[in-house]
Structure 1
Amino acid sequence: MVRTPLTPEERERGERLGRLLRDARGGRSMADVAADAGISPETLRKIETGRAPTPAFFTIAALARTLGLSMDDLAGQCALVVL
């Protein structure tokens, strides 16, 4: 299966998600948050840096739960901006 390349807007949305998660993590270590969410630190690193701009739903749900974030708020803040 060949993936369709991401648009610049989709890449920006992934970077925005990464910033939101990184900010919510605050002073907690990446390893601690990843362990609590049941993912690898490398996966969290890729999401936070925008290198994984389309993470799986359940990964984001686990991170949101771990960080005390609302999925509705994350979705609203990461919505595609169409001009």
Structure 2
Amino acid sequence: MSELWNVCILLRPGTDVPDVRALFDARGVTLLTTRTAEDGRLEMLIVVMSTVMERIADALPAGATWRVVGVRGNLS
């Protein structure tokens, strides 16, 4: 069983967004929103299975941080 997570990813200013979006698309991740945070970093909200998040986090650009902001439920 796996959980679906809402995850907020913060990227440094100047990060190549198409590359990050392609990273998500290649792994079947749903990108919900993109906005600029108060400190200038790019904030992306995604929906991802918990079992996949670690692999995505390892592939994110240097300086990116992420945190779970919600759990949508369990998948059997």
**Fold shared by both chains (TM-score > 0.5):** no
Higher relative contact order (CA 8 A, sep 6+): 2
TM-score range (shorter-chain normalised) is: 0.3 to 0.5
TM-score, with structure 1 as normaliser: 0.37
TM-score, with structure 2 as normaliser: 0.38
